[in-house]
């Protein structure tokens, strides 16, 4: 029984390939364009443009395909984990701060990939266990919560406007209903549907001026940054962004593990985690080099592969080419730039909350026991430090480095988990663990037996 309609190395007919590729573009589109919009909103200035985000997404995916020898059907798009750090780095060091930080993340990926190739990956699992990763992800989502409320216009410093609330409510409710009630492909793009719905309502309420769209040309050259001319090295900003790489590396591993189950091939072994991380890292470095956001593997596109049973890498590559072309369409990008802030605020309630809940799911899935004091100490410290606005500054001569928010929480979480000794288990707890291991082994064998019968 064939698991996939089109396997990794297969190519659907031309017509089908175009439609399937466009489906991947639509799946990644909402999130990919949302990242630069939210980064700019958080920074209060234009840091990353939508055309550059689209182009770097397409180029990054092609780089990934090359590095993995076209053995992994993964699409790379803008990472939400870096929204707040990029904005903070921009405030500290301008475009130099933001882009050198993103390039540093790419290099961290490359270094980790090389270590895995020559040493193995056990050290990574020890450095970043679930008790550290879960709170890291939660801090990323919850740390952005105030940005969503500010965009809606219902923060303590905002002047109340009923139009803003209506638009945000429509965006929020449509996204929520699509997430919970939609079927098929529509269920994969809830945020895109929510944004479009809110946008239409905002336009009907007179909140959008389309002059920019009328004045924009059909073809427009993205505002690429010239490497090493438009910016210089900024260590303070690098320290702000770099630790988040630890979170996205774990996300990378999770996405590839999930995709492996979907396509029936172990991508961690072939093409190998070293190659997948290398592709992701070089793609992120190149994105920072031209002024784009950090890349990441996209769960939305993994879902598309699972739903359609089409794992063709050639389809993924075609989708990447389409994304690059979209970056050069002036009227299209102008239309996207006019999305009102309340629309983004409405969908961001779910988006940021969804990120935080994913962190919680990591803790639940790995059955983290909070009756163990070490786990409480690590998680509690990370949440309070990450969300409380804590900052540690180091100033010496020309050196001015600050650890804050997500970066400080990640560093402290890793250190605490390594230095606090594990609590010794009682005999009863050891017996319970042994029983659970036996149960898992039995259940796994039963599942394998059922799978063999269903395939006959």
| Average pLDDT, consecutive stretches of 10 residues, N- to C-terminus, the chain (456 residues) | 76 84 74 82 84 93 96 89 82 83 92 90 78 82 79 77 89 87 71 84 88 82 74 74 80 77 83 93 94 82 73 92 90 79 83 78 85 91 87 61 70 89 68 72 63 52
Task: Please state the φ and ψ torsions of residue 380, each to the nearest 5 degrees.
Answer: -60, -45
349 within 8 A of 172, measured Cβ to Cβ: yes
| Angstrom distance (rounded) from CA 376 to CA 384 | 12
Backbone angles phi, psi at 208, to 5 degrees: -125, 130
CB 355 within 8 A of CB 57: no
Q: Which residues pair with 296 in a beta bridge?
A: 77
| Closest among 262, 267, 257, 306 to 70, alpha carbons compared | 267
**294 touches 248 (CB < 8 A):** yes
Question: Among residues 417, 416, 412, 418, which one has the least CA distance to residue 139?
Answer: 412
Answer whether 133's CB lies under 8 Å from 247's CB.
Answer: yes
Please give the structure tokens belonging to residue 232.
């210089």
C-beta of residue 22 within 8 angstroms of C-beta of residue 325:
no
- Please name which of 1, 326, 426, 350 lies closest in space to residue 169, comparing C-alpha atoms: 350
Closest CA to 387 of 399, 400, 401, 404: 404
The Cα–Cα gap between 362 and 368 comes to 9
Half-sphere CA count of 265, side-chain side, radius 13 A: 15
Whole-angstrom distance, CA of residue 411 vs CA of residue 408: 5
For residue 103, give Cα distances in angstroms to 127, 133, 237, 269.
22, 22, 11, 27
DSSP helix/strand/coil, 1: coil
Q: 3-state class of 401 per DSSP? A: strand
CA distance 131 to 370: 10
Is 0.75 topped by the overall pTM? no
* Strands 391-396 and 295-297, sheet pairing: unpaired
pLDDT at 1: 41
Between CA 279 and CA 252 the distance in angstroms is 11
Counting every residue, how long is the chain? 456
- Residue 271 preceded by cis peptide, ω within 30: yes
Residues 81 and 143: their CA atoms lie apart, in Å, by 10
Q: Locate tokens 């007919």: which residue?
A: 13
Phi, psi of 206 (to 5 degrees): 75, 25
């Amino acid at each position: 029984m064939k698991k996939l309609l089109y396997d990794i190395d297969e190519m659907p007919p031309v017509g089908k390939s175009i439609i399937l590729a466009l489906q991947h573009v639509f799946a990644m589109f909402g999130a990919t364009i949302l990242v630069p919009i939210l980064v700019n909103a958080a920074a209060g200035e234009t840091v990353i443009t939508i055309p550059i985000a689209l182009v770097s997404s397409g180029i990054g995916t092609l780089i990934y395909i090359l590095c993995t020898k076209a053995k992994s059907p993964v699409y790379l798009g803008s990472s939400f984990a870096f929204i707040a750090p990029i904005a903070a780095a921009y405030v500290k060091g301008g475009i130099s701060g933001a882009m050198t930080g993103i390039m540093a993340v790419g290099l961290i990926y490359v270094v980790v990939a090389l270590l895995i190739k020559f040493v193995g990956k056990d050290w990574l699992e020890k450095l970043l266990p679930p008790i550290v990763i879960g709170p890291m992800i939660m801090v990323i989502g919850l740390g952005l919560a105030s940005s969503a409320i500010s965009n809606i216009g219902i923060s303590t410093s905002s002047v109340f406007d009923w139009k803003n609330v209506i638009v945000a409510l429509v965006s929020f409710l449509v996204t929520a209903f699509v997430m919970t009630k939609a079927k098929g492909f529509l269920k994969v793009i809830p945020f895109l549907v929510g944004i479009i719905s809110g946008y239409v309502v905002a336009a009907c309420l007179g909140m959008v001026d389309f002059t920019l769209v009328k004045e924009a040309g059909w073809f427009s050259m993205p505002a690429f940054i010239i490497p090493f001319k438009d910016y210089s090295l900024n260590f303070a900003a690098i320290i702000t962004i770099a630790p988040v790489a630890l979170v996205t590396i774990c996300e990378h591993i999770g996405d590839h593990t999930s995709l492996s189950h979907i396509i029936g091939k172990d991508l961690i072994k072939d093409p190998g985690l070293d190659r997948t991380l290398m592709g992701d890292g070089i793609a992120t470095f190149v994105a920072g080099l031209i002024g784009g956001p950090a890349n990441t593997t996209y769960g939305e596109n993994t879902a598309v592969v699972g739903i359609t049973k089409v794992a063709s890498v050639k389809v993924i590559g075609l989708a990447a080419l389409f994304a690059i072309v979209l970056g050069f369409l002036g009227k299209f990008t102008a239309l996207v730039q006019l999305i009102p802030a309340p629309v983004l605020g409405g969908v961001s309630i779910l988006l940021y909350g969804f990120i935080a809940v994913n962190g919680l799911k990591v803790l639940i899935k790995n059955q983290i026991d909070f009756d163990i004091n070490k786990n409480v100490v690590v998680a509690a410290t990370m949440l309070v430090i990450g969300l409380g606005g804590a900052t540690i500054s180091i100033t010496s001569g020309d050196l001015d480095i600050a650890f804050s928010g997500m970066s400080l929480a990640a560093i402290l979480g890793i250190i605490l988990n390594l230095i606090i000794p594990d609590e010794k288990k009682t005999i009863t707890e050891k017996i319970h663990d042994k029983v659970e291991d036996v149960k898992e082994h039995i259940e796994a064998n039963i599942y394998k037996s059922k799978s063999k019968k269903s395939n006959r």
